[in-house]
């Protein structure tokens, strides 16, 4: 099972073993990682699973490409170059060790 | 025969093709979900060829509503096509010849520019600055209420608190705060239903509103930036150069957006807890449950029953063929009771697993921009209620609003227990 590290905005670290095939958002929600919401349940319809992908990992995950993800990120707070919607990143063995930072608040 | 059996008979007696869920009386009687349940089961995307609002499609299942929400390139919110409510006259009332452009009734790209300008104002970071004042005002209203004596919760708490919250958010002159409620009601009013007598009257009142806000804008521009929505808009680079019409349109949207909805969520929470005493017990035993209770109240109440779109093109939806120009109504109230999407959807459960997974704020690019603000107000209110009162007890029949859009209460007789 791949491992993902989530850093809350205040630096609190959560190391989580996650299943392949589910999204990064689901992984966080199922493991009670605070700071990521996923209000729409992963339908790419809100922006409350906003995450920052660690620069070392951005090539593996890719940047936001699809138009709906980009539109929604457009309305999120404090969006950066490495912003993604967590529900649009599927966990694979390739992402074992992935590091993500969470924003101050979801909106 | 039970009421439920009579209702089931009522619903099944109507031929499917004649089912029209737009009738406001069905909502006021609160029997509408028996109708929606039949549609979810037998005809989830249902065409009604003739109604008081002309022909329209009803979208009743959660997943189909989500599909429409995320397909804004097909399903338009444009005011010119009739706007976002089943009754196309309402946006004429709101926008009409006064030109109050509201981004809720716009499509991209114009929608995006407007929303991006306004949304930071109600984002969580700014809300933190407002929480203290909101808590203070909630406390003062609650302290002024009679204990042990019957009164109308809607008037003395739901409307009063919402009005004060709006005044706080704008730092609007406190003694004149009821004007905000009045202007909000007037914005969406259609003449002849008790709010306004004519469109001319509406225009005059909204011109007065425009002048008033223009004055506040001028005042705030000259002052140091502070924590109220007008000052924030006057000082933010994204909003400070807005045209007067755009400014007023956005102000009206913020007021209308936070008016009936918050009011009826405040009332709705009291109704939900009284109808489910086991949940009230659970809350009293563990006040920290306010955090998960708030979104559940918003789901349960569903303060806006629907949002409407207009098809820009032919499209497939739930096995049906939508035609270009068709009116498509997303019934949030139905989706929020869809057991294929939500576990035990008819139950009010204050510690649900994923309480925010509901349709009341909508989804997609038009998702309610004030959603975190709404939750914050309700959370603060319930925290303050729990500090003061053992129980808010309903002691008479709640009266519901006569509307197919606003789901709320005009009267809620309660008695407080210290």
Weakest mean pLDDT among A87-96, B3-12, B18-27: B3-12
Phi, psi torsion values for B20, nearest 5 degrees: -125, 110
CA distances, A9 to each of A13, A88, B227, B237 (Å): 10, 21, 23, 26
Number of residues in chain A: 107
Weakest mean pLDDT among A15-24, A89-98, B6-15, B345-354: B6-15
Average pLDDT, chain A: 95
Alpha helices in B303-353 (DSSP H): 332-335
Q: What angle (nearest 5°) sits at the alpha carbon of residue B300, between those of residues B294 and B303?
A: 90
How much is the pLDDT for B206? 87
Average pLDDT, chain B: 92
How much is the pLDDT for B20? 97
Q: Which residues of A touch B129 (CB under 8 A)?
A: none
pLDDT in tens, B289-323: 999 999 999 999 999 999 999 999 999 999 999 99
pLDDT in tens, B119-168: 887 788 888 888 998 899 899 999 999 999 999 999 999 999 999 888 88
Q: Does pLDDT of B243 surpass 90?
A: no
Q: Which residue of B has its CA nearest to A45?
A: B364
Residue carrying the six token digits 């779109």: B309
Q: Which residues of B touch A107 (CB under 8 A)?
A: 119, 123-124, 372
Q: List Cβ<8 Å contacts ≥24 apart for B204-212.
A: B206/B98, B206/B100, B206/B252, B207/B98, B209/B179, B209/B183, B209/B248, B209/B252, B210/B244, B210/B248, B212/B179
Q: Which residues of B touch A85 (CB under 8 A)?
A: none
Q: Would you say A106 and A73 are in contact if contact means Cβ atoms under 8 Å apart?
A: no
CB contact under 8 A, B367 and A46: yes
Q: Would you say B258 and B233 are in contact if contact means Cβ atoms under 8 Å apart?
A: no
Fold (topology level) of A3-101: Ubiquitin-like (UB roll) (3.10.20)
Cα B109 from Cα B93, distance rounded (Å): 24
Q: Which of A39, A68, A74 sits opposite B116 (nearest CB)?
A: A74
Conformational region of residue B385, where left means phi above 0, alpha means psi within -120 to 50, and beta covers everything else: alpha
- What the block records as the tokens of A68 is 């709906």
Q: Does pLDDT of B330 surpass 90?
A: yes
**CATH assignment of B3-92+102-109+133-164+257-417, given 2.60.40.420, 3.30.750.210, 1.10.630.10, 3.30.70.100?**
1.10.630.10
Q: Pairing between strand B320-322 and B315-317? A: antiparallel
Chain B: which residues have CB within 8 Å of chain A? 66, 69-70, 108, 112, 115-116, 119-120, 123-125, 354, 356-357, 363-365, 367, 372
Q: Does pLDDT of B57 surpass 80?
A: yes
Cα B6 from Cα B13, distance rounded (Å): 11
Cα B113 from Cα A42, distance rounded (Å): 25
Q: Which of B69, B112, B364 sits opposite A74 (nearest CB)?
A: B112
Confidence tier at B364 by pLDDT (50, 70, 90): very high
Q: Does pLDDT of B97 surpass 80?
A: no
Q: Would you say B134 and B377 are in contact if contact means Cβ atoms under 8 Å apart?
A: yes
How much is the pLDDT for B102? 87
CB contact under 8 A, A75 and B363: no
**A99 sits in which H/E element:** strand A98-101
Q: Please state the domain extents for chain A.
A: 3-101
Check residues B256 and A64 and name the one with the higher pLDDT: A64
Confidence tier at B202 by pLDDT (50, 70, 90): confident
Q: Please state the domain extents for chain B.
A: 3-92+102-109+133-164+257-417
Q: Which of A44, A74, A107 sits opposite B123 (nearest CB)?
A: A107
- What the block records as the tokens of A59 is 């090539």
CB contact under 8 A, A77 and B123: yes
DSSP per residue, A23-40: BHHHHHHHTT-TT---TT
- How many C-beta neighbours within 10 Å does residue B382 have? 22
Q: Which residues of B touch A73 (CB under 8 A)?
A: none
Which residues have CB under 8 Å from A105's CB, separation 6+? A77, B123, B124, B125, B372
Cα B199 from Cα B190, distance rounded (Å): 8
pLDDT in tens, A22-58: 999 999 999 999 999 999 999 999 999 999 999 999 9
């Amino acid at each position: 099972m791949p491992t993902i590290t989530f850093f809350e905005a205040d630096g609190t670290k959560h190391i989580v073993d996650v299943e392949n095939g589910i999204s990064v958002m689901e992984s966080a929600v199922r493991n009670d990682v605070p700071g990521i919401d996923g209000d729409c349940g992963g339908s790419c319809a809100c922006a409350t699973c906003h995450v920052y992908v660690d620069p070392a990992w951005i090539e593996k995950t890719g940047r936001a490409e699809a138009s709906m993800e980009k539109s929604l990120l457009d309305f999120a707070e404090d969006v950066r170059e490495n912003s993604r919607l967590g529900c649009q990143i599927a966990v694979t063995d390739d992402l074992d060790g992935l590091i993500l930072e969470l924003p101050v608040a979801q909106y | 025969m039970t009421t439920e059996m009579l209702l089931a008979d009522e619903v099944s007696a109507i031929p499917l093709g004649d089912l029209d869920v737009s009738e406001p009386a069905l909502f006021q009687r609160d029997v509408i979900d028996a109708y929606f349940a039949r549609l979810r089961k037998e005809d989830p995307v249902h065409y009604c060829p003739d109604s008081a609002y002309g022909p329209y499609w009803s979208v009743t299942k959660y997943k189909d509503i989500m599909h429409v929400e995320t397909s804004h390139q097909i399903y338009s919110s444009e005011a010119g096509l009739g706007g976002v409510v089943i009754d196309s006259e309402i946006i004429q009332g709101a926008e009409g010849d006064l030109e109050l452009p509201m981004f809720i009734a716009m499509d991209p790209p114009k929608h995006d520019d407007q929303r991006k300008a306004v949304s930071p104002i109600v984002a969580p970071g700014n809300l933190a600055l407002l929480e203290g004042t909101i808590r203070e005002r909630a406390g003062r209203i609650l302290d002024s209420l009679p204990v042990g004596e019957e009164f109308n919760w809607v008037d003395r708490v739901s409307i009063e608190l919402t009005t004060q919250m709006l005044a706080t958010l704008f730092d609007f002159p406190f003694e004149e705060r009821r004007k905000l409620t009045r202007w909000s009601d007037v914005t969406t009013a259609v003449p002849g239903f008790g709010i306004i007598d004519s469109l001319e009257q509406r225009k005059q009142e909204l011109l007065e509103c425009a002048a008033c806000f223009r004055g506040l804008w001028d005042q705030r521009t000259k002052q140091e930036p502070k924590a109220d929505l007008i000052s924030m808009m006057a000082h933010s680079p994204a909003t400070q150069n807005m045209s007067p019409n755009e400014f007023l349109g956005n102000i009206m949207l913020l007021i209308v957006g936070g008016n009936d909805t918050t009011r009826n969520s405040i009332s709705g929470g009291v109704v939900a807890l009284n109808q489910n005493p086991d949940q009230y017990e659970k809350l009293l035993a563990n006040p920290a449950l306010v955090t998960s209770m708030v979104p559940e109240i918003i789901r349960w109440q569903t303060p806006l029953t629907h949002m409407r779109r207009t098809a820009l093109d032919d499209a497939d939806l739930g096995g049906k063929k939508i035609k270009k120009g068709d009116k498509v109504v997303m019934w949030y109230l139905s989706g929020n009771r869809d057991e294929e999407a939500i576990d035990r959807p008819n139950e009010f459960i204050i510690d649900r697993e994923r309480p925010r997974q509901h349709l009341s704020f909508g989804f997609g690019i038009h998702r309610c921009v004030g959603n975190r603000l709404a939750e914050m107000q309700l959370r603060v209110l319930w925290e303050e209620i729990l500090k003061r009162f053992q129980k808010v007890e309903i002691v008479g029949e709640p009266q519901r609003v006569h509307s197919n859009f606003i789901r709320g209460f005009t009267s809620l007789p309660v008695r407080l227990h210290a």
